[in-house]
Amino acid sequence: MTATRPGCTTPDGTSLDAATTAVLICEAHLQPVITDTSGNPLNLGRTVRLFTPAQKQALVVRDGGCVFPGCDQPASRCDAHHETPWTQGGRTDIDDGALLCRRHHGLMHCDRPWTLLRYDIADLPAHLAEAHRQRATSANLDPTTQVKVFRDPHGKLLLAQNTTDHQGPAPP
């Protein structure tokens, strides 16, 4: 495997010399690009609205299927959903995406929408924090401080599912 040298290139792949790179970086607004092992960008910010196939595959590995509580729909029947709506500044990034089946995706966009939120585990009601800890422990994972939860139109909170709830990630 050959290591690539860091540097600056034009959109067509032409390498720029160090002096030109330094001038461009001096006043640049940088957007970090996180890629998968094939070089496909996983974080696209506000540059595009729809998730790419590579991003969806990363969501498949992470989420395993629909993240709605109790849903058993596989990833193949899910859409990539922006946790922060695109119309409200949401980014087309893996961290701002989640897999939802068509039925549950519709709940996020109806007249009385559900919302997908992140809570610090310390801010969760005790029964949800304990359920999250038990789920993480049974999957041999450390409980994270950030937990995804759904809030229904009446304010009730429910833990979002993850890969462990779907018996492991889908095969590539």
pLDDT of 17 > 50? The answer is: yes
Mean pLDDT of 155-160: 94
pLDDT of 33 > 70? The answer is: no
Per-residue pLDDT tens over the stretch 93-135: 988 999 999 999 999 989 999 999 999 999 999 999 999 998 8
Q: Tell me, yes or no, whether 155 lies in a domain.
A: yes
Q: Tell me, yes or no, whether 102 lies in a domain.
A: yes
Per-residue pLDDT tens over the stretch 54-99: 899 989 988 889 999 999 999 999 999 999 988 899 889 988 999 9
pTM for the whole thing?
0.71
- Spatial separation of the C-alpha atoms in residues 43 and 126, rounded to whole Å: 33
Say how many domains are in the chain: 1
Q: Tell me, yes or no, whether 125 lies in a domain.
A: yes
- Spatial separation of the C-alpha atoms in residues 129 and 102, rounded to whole Å: 28
Q: Tell me, yes or no, whether 118 lies in a domain.
A: yes
Closest CA relative to residue 60, chosen from 28, 33, 97:
97
Q: Tell me, yes or no, whether 116 lies in a domain.
A: yes
- Which residue range is the domain that position 76 belongs to? 53-166
